[in-house]
Amino acid sequence: MNRLLILNCPKQEDKRYFSFAEHQYQNNLTVLFNNNALFENIDDAEENLPIVMRHQISFDMHATNAICLIYDIKFGKQREKTDVDFLFDPINSICTINLERKNYVIGSEKLTGDYKITLSINNQKYFLDKDFHKGDLKKLSLQTYVDIKLPIYIELESKKVFEHSDKITYDQIVLKII
């Protein structure tokens, strides 16, 4: 089934995003569909927002389809590597989401309890707290119902608040499969 994948890293006026100027933030985000790179070297620093990209994809209605987000983030010399995989099983109408943080992120111990990751798939919301940043690595898996024949809307947003600061910093990506 031919579909259009739209990637959007928005820039909302009421939100502050990580920037190169203020945080030395750089991202090297890669988006794969069924192990084929669709988008590479996406740097969603605030200076580069908004970002909108499109690519035609073909969903196999008889096999699992995978969209993989590979984050390679730098804050100056500090790194964060995280993969987020969306595995769409069209036969059972299930989407399995795997989140894997591959390293300890220096500075994450200064996150406050206000830290939150919101993952939304077709308005089904899941929340992660700062426990996602505890330890050297973290693996989580979630499942949700998704009818592959209908449009699919995925939003992944992190809200970061650090100790001794009242500033909130966001990171957002929206994927639409239509």
**pLDDT digit string (tens) for the chain, length 178 residues:** 999 999 999 999 999 999 999 999 999 999 999 999 999 999 999 999 999 999 999 999 999 999 999 999 998 888 999 999 999 999 999 999 999 999 877 777 788 888 899 999 999 999 988 888 777 888 999 999 999 999 999 999 999 888 888 899 999 999 999 9
Q: Output the pLDDT for position 53.
A: 98
Q: Output the pLDDT for position 178.
A: 97
Phi, psi of 74 (to 5 degrees): -125, 140
- DSSP per residue over 7-29, as a string? EEE---TT--B--HHHH-EEE-E
What range defines the domain where residue 144 resides?
2-177
- C-alpha span between 41 and 72 (Å, rounded): 9
Q: Is pTM, for the whole model, over 0.85?
A: yes
Q: Output the pLDDT for position 47.
A: 97
- C-alpha span between 13 and 58 (Å, rounded): 35
**DSSP collapsed to 3 states, 53-101:** EEEEEECCCCCCEEEEEEEEEEECCEEEEEEEEEEEECCCCEEEEEEEE
Q: Output the pLDDT for position 110.
A: 80
- C-alpha span between 169 and 7 (Å, rounded): 20
> What domain count does the chain have?
1
The DSSP bridge partners found for residue 8 are 52, 174
